[in-house]
Structure formats: C-alpha cells, structure tokens
Amino acid sequence: MNSSGRDCNASREGSALSRGGQWLFEHRAWIPAPCVVGCFWLIKPLQIWTGVGIGMVAIAVVVRFWSVVHMGPEARMRTANVSKLIYTGPYELTRNPMYLANIVLMAGFGVAAGGPMLGVGLGVAMVAIYSVIVRFEEDFLERRLGEIYRSYRNRVPRWLGEAAPVHAAAPKGIMSERVGDAYRAERSTLILSSIVTLMVLIRAATLG
C-alpha cells in the first residue's frame, strides 16, 4: 500500500474513533450503569476490601466535586461545547480529573463488592472507555482553542505524571457561589453513590 493509501486508512480509522468517542461522550452518564448492576451479582460477604472500596468511592466523589467547583456546571453537559480553557485546581494537575475520579469510583465499587480482582477489571474497562472519550475531546479542544490548548496539553499530563504542577490555583469568582453551583450539579452523583454504597453494604452484611 502506498503512502496515500495508508494516510487515507488512518484518516478513516481516526474518524471512526472520533465518532465512537463522541457517542460515548454524549452517553457517558449511563456508562457506569451496567457495571454497577453487574457488581450486585458478584458481591461477597463483608471483608476488609469492602472498607477499602468505600474509601476509594469517597475519594473519587471528593475529586469530582473539586473538579466541578473549578469547571462549573458545564462539566455535566452532554454535548461538546467550550468557551474557555479551565486550568485551575485539579485541572492544573491532570487534564481529566473527573474521568480519573470516575475510574477510581467504579474500581472502588468493584473492590467493595467483590474484592481487588473485580475492582481491577472495572478499572481497566473504565480506562479503555474514557481513553476513547478523551481522544474525541482532545481533538475537539484543539480545533476550538488551537495553540492555547496545545500549550496546556504539553504542560499538564492527560492522566497523571511527573510533569504535573505541584500546586492548585483557586477558581475565579465567589467561592461560596461556585461550591453551591457544584453541589447542585453533583447532587445526583452524591445521592446515587451513597445509595449504591449503602446497598452494597447491606447486601454484603446479609451474605455474612
């Protein structure tokens, strides 16, 4: 195959990946649902891993909330749209703090329900899914923001890494208002996470 043919195939593959990423992005709120349902079929009696998993869930919820304080309610939008680049708080440490939190959240549910192997399995599955979404988002942001985003991408790691800055700046605006907006945006996540955690505990306790 000549160079032109290879470039054409690469373009089609990139386009297909982008379309898949866009579809996953628009439906990302439902991605955890089948994983959570599956966890209930694999719950084990109460054990030390139950507490470890719940701790992971708590950390993930806190990171999500911190991210929304900086990003604003726009973080929950189901359509790709951007008017400015957010680079404060957790976005100065990783380009995808909410997705990183979601990975830890689902791995935590897995660990709490079935132990470390289930947690690893769910974590790997979430990494694969969010990696496709991130590819779509990165292409979109580069088209919309150009050099501003490329500079940010070169400075801050996609997930975590040594290049991450060591401090987190405060968001602009009145903090109490941003916290209130973040709470309203994340209220459903807080409620659902609490309900699922409680159901896992109750089910694990009855098995013991």
> pLDDT by residue (tens digit) across 100-144?
999 999 999 999 999 999 999 999 999 999 999 999 989 888 888
Cβ distance 157 to 95 under 8 Å? yes
Q: Pinpoint the alpha helices (H) of 45-174.
A: 48-71, 97-114, 116-145, 147-155
Residue 197 pLDDT > 90 = yes
Assign domain 3-207 to its CATH architecture: Up-down Bundle (1.20)
Half-sphere exposure of 20 (CA within 13 A, CB side): 12
pLDDT in tens, 63-103: 999 999 988 877 666 566 666 788 888 998 899 999 999 99
Residue whose C-alpha is closest to residue 82's, from 94, 72, 69, 92: 72
Distance CA 158, CA 91 (A): 10
Residue 5 pLDDT > 70 = no
Spell out the residues 6+ positions from residue 181 whose beta carbon is closer than 8 angstroms to its own.
68, 72, 73
Provide the pLDDT for residue 11: 39
Distance CA 155, CA 147 (A): 12
Cβ distance 186 to 68 under 8 Å? yes
pTM: 0.84
Helix (H) or strand (E) holding 5: helix 3-26
pLDDT in tens, 160-169: 876 555 455 5
Residue whose C-alpha is closest to residue 134's, from 80, 83, 90, 86: 80
Cβ distance 123 to 39 under 8 Å? no
Provide the pLDDT for residue 77: 66
For the chain, what percent of residues have pLDDT higher than 70?
A: 81
Provide the pLDDT for residue 4: 38
Distance CA 71, CA 101 (A): 14
pLDDT in tens, 151-194: 888 889 999 876 555 455 566 677 888 889 889 989 999 999 99
